[in-house]
Structure 1
């Protein structure tokens, strides 16, 4: 039995259903104008359009309250949409009962049966359905999650990572069209969480089923997913491959939420088919046209801290095109693989620089004067009407 069948939907009745957007030619999961509003007037998910291809590993990423979990619960049938539609393999499942959907969910809490051994936990759904060949299917699933030797242990005898693999096996053995992962690694410590990221990706690659992973952890989403949708305030800010989102963010929220970014005020001087030239506090810098996301003449020049080179005054840095003199080191943090600097620029802003500790350059000290440089192809330009601090992770979040 699906874990979803053990939970009941908890929401107000929906309005009359919208016209079903049935498309038999599309075999993935499709959300159209999906909206969820609550009685207080709060809209958690706002007219969301989303296609998740069959067999893909898809992540919904965003901070608490962005709407990602509510979206997952509507797909699972645990929340009823206010409006919009959900179709799977061309069939409208918007108002289908949870246990009638070809969907299973793996939760952070595992929800294993403590009185059953691992074999029987995995076999539970098959036995409820009176399925055939239970033994062969359970053994194959235990082999997939590498727990064959633990089959007769109770959940309490396993580590957190092993329990999570049991939860995965129990969900996958029902052969759902879509497996929903609701912050599945949140209860694990950092080292184990990273190991499980690789393990879950391996399992998804082997079974070739659609996985939709909800998380607030950017590293987790980027490590595991083929496609990431960054959500904010009930809508998708940007969607694409992890590298695309990181290297070429289209909003300040994405630039700050995925890693860290230096955002520096500038004015567009000229545009060509290939390059946008920007005056940045009296220094002209170049941004590729394909990484320019502003229509007006005011923008934020963005550069990731690890893309910035740092050197002594007058040093020739291997990043021709954008060189910014006049910096003074204001803070130094040694973190092992890199040294992280804060550099106060002549216009008063502190820029972050992450310098790899390869041994090729010396470590700078607080108060030293330095120059910064970066290759133009690494920069991006965002609309200055957007909040430069949007999406930034703060202590305690």
Structure 2
């Protein structure tokens, strides 16, 4: 487990809004324990109104428990939840302007699509039901399916019915609990785009819980990566991927090469690190350790591979002495494992543009990368943290 689970982004009081005047969802020191097990630990979080926010993490990290507390389906052990300045910590689910869409959709099988969507309005005896239902079915592009039963629809269509049924109640916040988990890969990807389109059109706050890093990064404006009940790091998807602050985030979001190194010098804008006898540079803004030892991180697609002595387009960090130990051709790219002189195998993802020949197992190669793509993490952290992603909910 990472040693920096409580990331500054989630704990710095200077960066948190005043819950009493904040128009979004604010969690303060939110804690939930089940006996001796702490599912969520003193979580501080602001979710801006109208944003698409993702809680991302592996099974058991606390993301679903956090969502259920926001929905009113779990009672916090301590802490507060406010929405648009109103304390809803102990409000019943029906008393808070929040709706939840679950992975199993929970549609009424005996009602047609129109009546499924109209259900909440009819229960509250609202007027003008027909116009609202028709508008919502048009939003989710299901107008032509209005009189079909749920079992007559595909999984993706059922998901859109569930969205429409939740959104027609005009919730301040829509909670999405692993909403695409039951869909196949191709449909899941199309639904990612569809849900993002719907969120943009309605302008409501969406909070999406998922263990799928690609799903979170594709859909959300902001992603909070959770681990062991706390937020490891929070930010825009590109920021988290390009500049992770812990080994857990580096491994959980995609894949990373993490290589031992010793800090030789620190300047205002660059840190120089001895990596098994080769000096490499890391931008100071991407160096996240104050110690002398660290993990030099580089994403596999940022590593260039070439012949011995070949001039690679990555001035500054060239590492000789590599031998290709495995080759996997995956269409758009070729994925190599390259054994380095110190015994570690590094991953290299090389785009198949046709400009370079494919290397074979046993070929001697050199690797290179641009210094601005590297990052440096605390050596006290586990280099394998976050690497084993699990597909279960948590």
TM-score by length of 1: 0.94
Q: Give CA deviations for 1:56-114 in whole Å, capped at 9, x if unaligned.
A: 00000000000000000000011000000000000000000111010000000010011
- 1:158-169 matches, within 5 Å, as 158-169=153-164
Name 1:5's counterpart in structure 2. Answer: none
**Is 1:72 paired with 2:64?**
no
Q: Could you tell me whether the CA contact under 8 Å between 2:252 and 2:389 is conserved in 1? A: no
Tell me how far apart the structure 2 counterparts of residues 121 and 37 of structure 1 sit (CA, whole Å).
35
Task: State which of 31, 38, 41 in structure 2 corresponds to 1:35.
Answer: 31
3-state SS of 2:170 partner? coil
Q: Could you tell me whether the CA contact under 8 Å between 2:59 and 2:391 is conserved in 1? A: no
Task: State which of 204, 212, 234 in structure 1 corresponds to 2:207.
Answer: 212
Tell me how far apart the structure 2 counterparts of residues 394 and 271 of structure 1 sit (CA, whole Å).
34
Task: State which of 91, 95, 101 in structure 2 corresponds to 1:100.
Answer: 95
1:394 Cα deviation (Å)?
5.6
1:150 Cα deviation (Å)?
0.5
Name 1:192's counterpart in structure 2. Answer: 187
**Is 1:351 paired with 2:346?**
yes
Task: State which of 97, 110, 113 in structure 2 corresponds to 1:115.
Answer: 110
**Is 1:83 paired with 2:78?**
yes
3-state SS of 2:323 partner? strand
Q: Give CA deviations for 1:154-199 in whole Å, capped at 9, x if unaligned.
A: 1011000000000000000000000000000000000000000000
Q: Could you tell me whether the CA contact under 8 Å between 1:22 and 1:91 is conserved in 2? A: no
3-state SS of 1:55 partner? coil
Q: Could you tell me whether the CA contact under 8 Å between 1:56 and 1:210 is conserved in 2? A: yes
Name 1:385's counterpart in structure 2. Answer: 380
Q: Give CA deviations for 1:194-223 in whole Å, capped at 9, x if unaligned.
A: 000000000000000000000000000000
- 1:121-136 matches, within 5 Å, as 121-136=116-131
Q: Could you tell me whether the CA contact under 8 Å between 2:19 and 2:26 is conserved in 1? A: no
- RMSD between superposed Cα atoms in Å: 1.1
1:27 Cα deviation (Å)?
0.3
Aligned length: 376
1:396 Cα deviation (Å)?
7.4
Tell me how far apart the structure 2 counterparts of residues 245 and 310 of structure 1 sit (CA, whole Å).
25
Task: State which of 246, 251, 254 in structure 1 corresponds to 2:249.
Answer: 254
Task: State which of 262, 270, 277 in structure 2 corresponds to 1:275.
Answer: 270
Gaps in structure 2 of 5+ consecutive residues? 1-16
**Is 1:308 paired with 2:300?**
no
3-state SS of 2:365 partner? strand
1:25 Cα deviation (Å)?
2.1
Name 1:13's counterpart in structure 2. Answer: none
1:24 Cα deviation (Å)?
3.8
Tell me how far apart the structure 1 counterparts of residues 338 and 178 of structure 2 sit (CA, whole Å).
36
3-state SS of 1:119 partner? helix
**Is 1:46 paired with 2:19?**
no
3-state SS of 1:259 partner? coil
**Is 1:155 paired with 2:167?**
no
Name 1:203's counterpart in structure 2. Answer: 198
Tell me how far apart the structure 2 counterparts of residues 193 and 367 of structure 1 sit (CA, whole Å).
39
1:22 Cα deviation (Å)?
7.1
TM-score by length of 2: 0.94
Tell me how far apart the structure 1 counterparts of residues 124 and 379 of structure 2 sit (CA, whole Å).
57
Tell me how far apart the structure 2 counterparts of residues 86 and 25 of structure 1 sit (CA, whole Å).
13
3-state SS of 1:184 partner? coil
**Is 1:179 paired with 2:163?**
no
- 1:277-296 matches, within 5 Å, as 277-296=272-291
Name 2:9's counterpart in structure 1. Answer: none
1:132 Cα deviation (Å)?
1.1
Greater relative contact order (CA < 8 Å, ≥ 6 in sequence) = 2
Name 1:11's counterpart in structure 2. Answer: none
Q: Could you tell me whether the CA contact under 8 Å between 2:58 and 2:390 is conserved in 1? A: no
Distance 1:297 1:329, change over 3 A: same
Task: State which of 22, 25, 40 in structure 1 corresponds to 2:21.
Answer: 25
3-state SS of 2:358 partner? coil
3-state SS of 1:293 partner? coil
Distance 1:113 1:62, change over 3 A: same
